[in-house]
Amino acid sequence: MKADELKKKIIAYIDNAEPELLNKLSDVIENYQKTKAVAYTIEGKPLTKGEYEQELKIAKNEIKKGKFTSQEDLEKEAET
């Protein structure tokens, strides 16, 4: 089934759904959103939104502590 057809079919279900089904659908969608990959590490590991936000927090703390390499230092490293 093509995506457009599937969307129409799901919308028809939703239009006629009882609250119990709508709650279950909402739970499924929320769970999917929480667990789908939104980014990847340099090793290729997928990260969920929560994991990505945690990685950003760690990176920001490292920057505040001065734990980073400047562009100039990277260029010097690349020359050797």
pLDDT at 1 over 90: no
Predicted confidence at residue 75, as pLDDT, reads 92
* Residue 20 CA, distance from chain mean position: 28
Strand partners, 47: 39
The pLDDT tens digits of the residues spanning 3-56 come to 999 999 999 999 999 999 999 999 999 999 889 999 999 999 999 999 999 999
pLDDT at 62 over 90: yes
The dihedral through the CA atoms of 11, 17, 22, 25 has a sign that is negative
pLDDT at 80 over 80: no
Find the radius of gyration of the CA atoms of the chain. 22
Taking residue 25's Cβ as centre, other Cβ atoms within 10 Å add up to 14
| Cα–Cα distance measured from residue 32 to residue 41, given in angstroms and rounded to the nearest whole number | 20
